[in-house]
Structure 1
Amino acid sequence: MSAAESGARELPGLDLDRLTPWFIEHVAPIEGPLDAELIAGGKSNLTYRLTDGSSRWILRRPPVGKLLATAHDMGREFTMMSALAPTDVPVPQMHAICDDTDLLGARFYVMEAVDGTPYRKASDLEKLGPERTRTISERLVDTLAALHRVDPAQVGLGEFGRPEGFLARQVARWRKQFDAAHTRDLPEMERLHALLADRVPADAAPGIVHGDYRLDNVLVDDDDQARAVLDWELSTIGDSLTDLALMCVYHRLGEAGGAVTDVSVAPGFLSEDEVIARYSAETGRDLSDFGFYLAFGCFKLAGIVEGIHFRYVNGQTVGEGFADAGQAVGPLLAAGLNALKEN
């Protein structure tokens, strides 16, 4: 299929005729015209599968329209995955990043297309059986622990973030994200923010933070191995325990019938207590005051969803599944307030 024919389909933020010369120069020669398809499922950055009829690649770029400050940083994703390439953390090979925003209207990068499945639904895991499901959930935890054992300075990420005062800044940052995505009043957000700001734990040893770690952000192969951790747009250096907490928040939402992912209810999937115990054994992290981390995870996830709601209200989303996203914000904020009561 020619680039012109591809352009007849909806390829928001992707002009194949403009992309092709840059691609040949910076990524690889091609054997035929580039074709592309938008990979469904994402509610944030746009992910395209590219092919020349012989080889495949992945292109990532921000969503179209006005973006929230600090969000959708292509350089962040590219830098993080490039740095992790020589470690035990599975990531795709990075090919090239384009800083010329005139080409496609925003920065973008191209990476390896990795074969694997991002399991989002319990029904998909149920087909595999409880034994394989348990193995997949164990490796999900082990991969997170491997990430958090990486010394940022040893992989060139020593200056990537500011770990001092990380949690306090994160609480403030996500409050600003709520303000930037304001379409409605959220009194529970105000209350949760105030309580979190008053209860920030002391700084922990700096670690790599993925920022949105869950099973459907990991590609799993047919041997139930984690092949690639994806979606690093929120990654930084800071208190990596925030990753475990957010994963547990997704776990709880799944059990409560949450729409993001319900893999935690699949037979064989590790319970929350088993997830925490396995992670603790692998990392030796102090899990006292984990209630704060759970509450912050709810606050952050509510901020992400409110950003999606903001883009939907302003007509800036691409694809289906956005209309009801905003309904999850209230329950997330309530769950955060409840989590603060836990140790």
Structure 2
Amino acid sequence: MGETNTPGLDLRRLREYLDAERPGLVRGELTGELITGGRSNLTYAVTDGQQRWAVRRPPLGHVLPTAHDMGREYRVISALGSTAVPVPPTVLYCDDPGPIGARFYVMEFVDGTAYRDAARLSVIGARRTSDVVAAMVDTLVDLHAVDPASVGLGDFGRPDGFLERQVRRWGKQLDASRSRELPGIDELKDRLAATMPTSPEPTVVHGDYRLDNVLVDENDRITAVLDWEMSTLGDPLTDLALIIAYNGGGVPAMSTRSNVHEAPGFPTIDEIVERYGKRSGRDLSTLPWYVGFAYFKIAVILEGIHYRYSQGQTVGDDFDRIGEAVPSLISAGLSQLDAD
């Protein structure tokens, strides 16, 4: 760990700010390290030798604060602290970019393992893998059972017209990334718009709920749900559908960002859906539409990466091949709508 040279986090200035805002909180010299980074928000582990915290800030060089709203993340995590949803206890939010060059917040550091691939799950075996995924599903049910108004989140989003705005938003994203023919993509978008289901009662939705966004303890319990930057009030079935799209197989691994579903003991999609349905009591008869939309959303995201790569604006592992995944995602989305 370094003293003040952690990229994107000046530990000396952070210490000065914490001493001013929370006198006595920090008891020794701060050290820290970046633990997750990239195009998403950055997370740092920081310690004074006795206590540990996590600090979240937007990506380096990002100039659109509304796309990486630290205040929204801090608000939803703080609100959920009194519920059955496991979240890190929050410490403070800084709305002033001055101290470290960006808005940020501090929360307590929560121990746990993020299972990001099948190899890591294989170490704990099939039975425990099944238990971990079951806990992930149960935690999603707990999130969707929270009454937003009762925890101060009644105005956290605009649930009316949520699905319509989502389809329109990702359609605009697609238009901004068009650089080649993609057979079926417009059919998928148009069919999604024409067959939109009626949403159930709105809930807090995570927006990117998957296994590597939760921490798991040695007893296979969820200790924290992380990465709330996409959260809002909306249709809960969009969260469930993303789990299915990420873990349904049949599409290139790069498009789902994880191969955890290949681990022995990982439940089938039918088992995941059945567990969510039984525990939530929700009508899942229109779920294929939501899964079709999830595939469309992932396809648009990857096409955007492909477009930026083709323009020389993005570099990274597999970016030269990421566009290959898009046709499979389009086909998977259309297949879901055919099954609806």
Q: Per the alignment, do residues 315 and 338 of structure 1 end up closer, same or farther by CA in structure 2, a change over 3 Å counting? A: same
User: Unpaired runs of 5+ in structure 1?
Assistant: none
Q: Is the 8 A contact 1:125 1:133 kept in 2?
A: yes
Residue 123 of structure 1: aligned partner = 119
Residue 93 of structure 2: aligned partner = 97
**Shift of residue 301, structure 1, vs aligned partner:** 2.4
Aligned to 1:269, which of 266, 270, 278?
Answer: 266
Which secondary structure does the structure 1 equivalent of 2:45 belong to?
strand
| Identical positions, percent | 51
**Shift of residue 24, structure 1, vs aligned partner:** 2.5
Residue 12 of structure 2: aligned partner = 17
**Alignment of 1:45 onto 2:41:** yes
Residue 278 of structure 1: aligned partner = 275
**Alignment of 1:151 onto 2:147:** yes
What root-mean-square deviation, in Å, do the aligned CA atoms of Structure 1 and Structure 2 show?
2.6
Residue 3 of structure 1: aligned partner = 3
**Alignment of 1:133 onto 2:129:** yes
**Shift of residue 200, structure 1, vs aligned partner:** 1.3
Name the CA distance, whole Å, in 1 between partners of 2:280 and 2:154: 20
**Shift of residue 222, structure 1, vs aligned partner:** 0.3
Deviations 1:48-80 (A, max 9, x none): 111223321111111123456852221221111
Moved more, 101-110 or 155-164: 101-110
**Shift of residue 247, structure 1, vs aligned partner:** 0.3
Name the CA distance, whole Å, in 1 between partners of 2:58 and 2:306: 16
Q: Is the 8 A contact 2:159 2:202 kept in 1?
A: yes
Structure 2 matches for 1:68-87, cutoff 5 A?
Answer: 70-87=66-83
Q: Is the 8 A contact 1:61 1:106 kept in 2?
A: yes
**Shift of residue 126, structure 1, vs aligned partner:** 1.1
Which secondary structure does the structure 2 equivalent of 1:44 belong to?
coil
Aligned to 1:26, which of 14, 21, 25?
Answer: 21
Name the CA distance, whole Å, in 2 between partners of 1:176 and 1:67: 21
Q: Per the alignment, do residues 196 and 229 of structure 1 end up closer, same or farther by CA in structure 2, a change over 3 Å counting? A: same
Q: Is the 8 A contact 2:251 2:329 kept in 1?
A: no
Name the CA distance, whole Å, in 2 between partners of 1:36 and 1:323: 33
**Shift of residue 32, structure 1, vs aligned partner:** 3.1
Name the CA distance, whole Å, in 2 between partners of 1:99 and 1:324: 39
Q: Is the 8 A contact 1:164 1:203 kept in 2?
A: no
Q: Per the alignment, do residues 61 and 138 of structure 1 end up closer, same or farther by CA in structure 2, a change over 3 Å counting? A: same
**Shift of residue 250, structure 1, vs aligned partner:** 0.7
Q: Is the 8 A contact 1:152 1:207 kept in 2?
A: yes
Q: Per the alignment, do residues 311 and 105 of structure 1 end up closer, same or farther by CA in structure 2, a change over 3 Å counting? A: farther
Aligned residues: 335
Q: Per the alignment, do residues 257 and 193 of structure 1 end up closer, same or farther by CA in structure 2, a change over 3 Å counting? A: closer
Name the CA distance, whole Å, in 1 between partners of 2:35 and 2:196: 38
**Shift of residue 157, structure 1, vs aligned partner:** 0.9
Which secondary structure does the structure 1 equivalent of 2:271 belong to?
helix
Name the CA distance, whole Å, in 1 between partners of 2:253 and 2:274: 24
Name the CA distance, whole Å, in 2 between partners of 1:309 and 1:105: 30
Structure 2 matches for 1:221-300, cutoff 5 A?
Answer: 221-253=217-249, 256=251, 258-259=253-254, 260-300=257-297
TM-score, reference length from structure 1: 0.88
Name the CA distance, whole Å, in 1 between partners of 2:293 and 2:49: 45
Q: Is the 8 A contact 2:305 2:314 kept in 1?
A: no
**Shift of residue 177, structure 1, vs aligned partner:** 3.4
Which secondary structure does the structure 2 equivalent of 1:227 belong to?
strand
Name the CA distance, whole Å, in 2 between partners of 1:209 and 1:193: 22
